Amino acid sequence: MSLLTIVLSLLALGSAILTITAKFSETKKQEYIFKPLTMIWIILIAILADDPVSTTYQVLILLGLLASIVGDVMLIDPRRFVYGLVSFLIAHIFYIIAFTAEGDASAPIWYIIPFALYGVAILRWLWPDLGEMKVPVMIYVLAIMIMAWQAANRWIEVRETGPLCAMIGAYLFVFSDSVLAVEHFRETWRTARILVLGSYFAAQWLIALSI
């Protein structure tokens, strides 16, 4: 890891802590500043990556990160939850294409089973509380499960540090979104804010590093 990457990572960490602090104190103005700023530092890590896997992979990951910034801003206001959902759905589509394009399709198809089971389990748990959001959430869960599956497949196929970062990042993304979904649709609790944002920023940081 280069010195520049370390500096940008520390800046992202500082912004992430200020974002979580703003979330706890319900200071919207601070959150609107530091939540996207955290992602900007992470995007710079992706842009300035030394010796990227490929230009295609780098561009696709960057597009996913940019779509995520839009989702971040949308989710600050709960009334715009659907717009946030769509933004992150687009981000996951870019990540899916990136992970698939850099894989060699040698991982067994049955590796999808754990992801399918988890997706069904989380949907079954949330289903009674989803209301008119049933179809959008189902589509989103399908997308993020495919994203995590493809990230895992790529690591199985390549077994290198970059794909490992992407896989761990994808798993953290699933965890973050699972907690967010439970908090949004079922019940909220104070520490959920740390779990959601902490795992989310770590996920995006690792995905950026995978370049």
Write the pLDDT tens digit of every residue in 3-28: 889 999 999 999 999 999 988 877 87
User: What percentage of the chain carries pLDDT values higher than 90?
Assistant: 61
Radius of gyration for the chain, computed over Cα atoms and rounded to the nearest angstrom: 17
Report how far apart the first and last C-alpha atoms of the chain are (Å, whole number).
12
Positive or negative, the Cα torsion across 77, 61, 20, 15? negative
Decide: 92 and 150 in contact? Cβ < 8 Å: no
| Residues above pLDDT 70, as percent of the chain | 98
If you count DSSP H runs as helices and E runs as strands, how many of each does the chain have, helices first?
A: 8, 0
Quick one: average pLDDT of 66-95? 91
Per-residue pLDDT, 106? 66
Burial code (b: 16+ CB inside 10 Å, e: under 16) for 132-157 equals ebeeebeebbbbbbbbbbbbbbbbee
Spell out the domain ranges in the chain: 3-209
**pLDDT category of residue 207 using cuts at 50, 70 and 90:** very high
Q: What is the pLDDT of residue 163?
A: 92
What local confidence, expressed as pLDDT, does residue 79 receive?
A: 82
Residue 176 near residue 135 (C-beta atoms within 8 A): no
Q: Which of 58, 82, 88 is nearest to 70 (CA)?
A: 88
DSSP 188-200: --TTHHHHHHHHH
Q: Whose structure tokens read 């992602």?
A: 39
d(CA 100, CA 154): 7
Mean pLDDT value across residues 167-188: 90
pLDDT at 112 over 90: no
